[in-house]
């Protein structure tokens, strides 16, 4: 008897285990019960938006699982899970990596389920989550760039806030003249941050020519943007701290570095890492090139629908809701300091709040206006992790003075083209 009971218990345990492990995106196909959708992401606030949805949508339950930041292993996990057949239904994917997932054949075409709501997002944003007019996910946020600067130091030294890159160069010299130990900015050596400058400078890295990719990382237009930074570096007008390094944060705090041209999320980066200079920072529009009223973008991500998802329609519905619903968007702005991609999200009142760190300036109003001026001619390539690491390696050498920007671009060009060819993509010259 006892033996039999023990066996039953064991069987029950095994069954529970199976039920738990079987809780993947493929279950609940037509059982009539609530549909369950798994969602992998890492941005703060996503869990709360999911909870809001689950409360109000009993028929479609989203199971959120926080994973490591994409660049810090999250994407590797998704690639591996997809290979093993255990990928989630929805995944947070940055625009820069979106094409890599597309090329790996891991995303599902949800054009049909998003078509009706295309007008709710700006066109250039849709370009980041699809190709050939097909849509594979829903944009969540964008990251237009702006000029963060120490208003106290600029004012004291009587230096005008630069509006163009030409003025920026003059201001850089003026900063050094005002205080020989200070510089205007740190050299942008992080490949994705640098991409924002190329993006603004109408210097695309990738394009599509019929059925082949074009790679133009070292094009003449890119040479112009790179040459500008090389010039500032050669004249010793910028610092060369490693990107995201504590030394740079110290320099922001102590006034050794006066400004940072960076994406909207630099707002929290500066606020959290240069706390003692609170109230002294302000934000102005990104300096422009030769009268072209365009800005760059560096970051932003989407909720992608992965292949194998049994409920693409419901998944797309949730993703659209997360990016457009007022409660969800307000929550994301509050917890992750994102700039929403959707038009309704951009209208959110949460963006009008004054920021005390920035001297009470309502900085997100500025980014809201700038997001309409993002250069639309940018496309990410399908092997961005290779492109970015090749470029990052090269830019790291620039800071150490053992290479130039142009050499870094050349290395990224060669590395990208050979990676594309090795993986079977067509590359047109």
Partner 1 sequence: MTRQRPSRLRELRRAAPFVLPFLLLFVVVYLVPTGYSVVQSFFAVKRSGLGLGGAETVFAGLGNYLRVFQDGDFIASLGRVGFIGVIQVPVMLGIALFLALLLDSSVPKGRKFFRIAYFVPYGLPGVIAALVWSFLYAPTLSPIAGFFASIGVDASFVTDGALPFSIANILTWAWTGYNTILIFAALQAIPEETMEAAALDGCSGWKAALLIKVPLVRPALLLTLVFSIIGTSQLYNEPVTMKSVAPNLPSTYTPIMAAVRSLSANDFNYAAAQSVVLGALICVLSVLVFRASARSVTR
Choose one: 53-61, 311-319, 329-337, 391-399; the region binding partner 1 (CB under 8 A): 391-399
What's the min distance (Å) between Cβ of 212 and partner 1? 6
Cβ neighbours for 162, distance < 8 A, ≥ 6 positions apart: 147, 168, 170, 171, 287
Residue 16 or 423 having the CB closest to partner 1: 423
Residue 282 or 417 having the CB closest to partner 1: 417
Residue 2 or 84 having the CB closest to partner 1: 84
Q: Provide the sign of the torsion angle of the four alpha carbons 97, 103, 108, 112, taken in this order.
A: positive
Residue 234 or 245 having the CB closest to partner 1: 245
What's the min distance (Å) between Cβ of 246 and partner 1? 7
420-426, long-range: CB < 8 A, 24+ apart: 420/213, 420/215, 420/381, 420/382, 420/383, 423/103, 423/383, 425/103, 425/212, 425/213, 425/382, 425/383, 426/211, 426/212, 426/213
Q: What mask of x and - would describe binding to partner 1 in positions 400 to 429, judged by CB under 8 A? A: x-x----------------x--xxxxx---
d(CA 98, CA 383): 10
What's the min distance (Å) between Cβ of 389 and partner 1? 4
d(CA 401, CA 262): 23
Structure tokens at 168: 């920026």
Under a CB-based contact definition with an 8 Å cutoff, are residues 53 and 322 in contact? Answer: yes
Of 243, 259, 269, 274, the one binding partner 1 by CB under 8 A = 243
d(CA 385, CA 235): 32
Q: What mask of x and - would describe binding to partner 1 in positions 326 to 365, judged by CB under 8 A? A: ----------------------------------------
Of 10, 11, 177, 212, the one binding partner 1 by CB under 8 A = 212
Indicate whether 42 belongs to the interface with partner 1 (CB under 8 A): no
Q: List contacts with partner 1 (CB under 8 A).
A: 75-76, 79, 83, 100, 102-105, 131-132, 189, 208, 211-213, 241-247, 250, 382-383, 385-386, 389, 392-393, 395-397, 399-400, 402, 419, 422-426
């Amino acid at each position: 008897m006892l033996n039999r009971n023990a066996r039953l218990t064991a069987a029950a345990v095994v069954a529970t285990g199976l039920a738990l492990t079987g809780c993947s995106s493929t279950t609940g196909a037509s059982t009539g019960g609530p549909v369950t959708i798994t969602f992998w992401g890492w941005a703060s606030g996503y869990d709360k938006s999911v909870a809001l949805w689950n409360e109000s949508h009993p028929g479609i339950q989203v199971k959120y699982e926080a994973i490591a930041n994409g660049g810090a292993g999250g994407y590797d996990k998704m690639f591996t899970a997809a290979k093993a057949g255990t990928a989630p239904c929805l995944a947070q994917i940055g625009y820069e990596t979106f094409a890599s997932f597309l090329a790996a054949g891991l995303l599902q075409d949800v054009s049909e389920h998003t078509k009706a709501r295309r007008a709710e997002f700006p066109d250039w944003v849709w370009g980041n989550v699809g190709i050939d007019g097909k849509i594979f996910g829903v944009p969540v946020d964008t990251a237009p760039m702006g000029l963060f600067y120490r208003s106290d130091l600029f004012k004291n030294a009587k230096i005008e806030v630069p509006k163009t890159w030409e003025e920026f160069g003059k201001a850089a010299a003026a900063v050094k003249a005002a205080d020989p130990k200070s510089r205007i900015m740190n050299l942008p050596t992080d490949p994705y941050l640098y991409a924002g400058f190329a993006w603004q400078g109408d210097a695309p890295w990738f394009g599509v020519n019929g059925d082949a990719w074009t790679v133009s990382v070292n094009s003449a237009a890119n040479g112009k943007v790179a040459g500008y930074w090389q010039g500032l570096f050669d004249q010793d007008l910028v610092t060369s701290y490693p990107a995201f390094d504590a030394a740079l944060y110290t320099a922001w705090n102590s006034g050794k570095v006066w400004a940072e041209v960076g994406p909207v999320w630099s707002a929290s980066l500066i606020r959290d890492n240069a706390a003692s200079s609170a109230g002294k920072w302000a934000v102005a529009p990104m300096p422009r090139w030769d009268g072209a009223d365009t800005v760059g973008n560096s970051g932003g991500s989407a909720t992608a629908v992965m292949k194998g998802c049994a409920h693409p329609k419901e998944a797309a519905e949730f993703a659209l809701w997360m990016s457009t619903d007022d409660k969800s968007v307000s929550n994301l702005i509050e917890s992750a300091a994102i700039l929403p991609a959707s038009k309704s999200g951009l209208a959110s009142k949460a963006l009008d709040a004054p920021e005390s760190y920035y001297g009470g300036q309502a900085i997100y109003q500025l980014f809201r206006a700038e997001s309409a001026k993002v250069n639309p001619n940018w496309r990410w390539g399908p092997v961005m992790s290779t492109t970015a690491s090749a470029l990052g390696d090269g830019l790291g050498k620039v800071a150490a003075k053992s290479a130039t920007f142009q050499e870094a671009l050349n290395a990224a060009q060669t590395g990208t083209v050979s990676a594309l060819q090795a993986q079977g993509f067509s590359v047109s010259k």
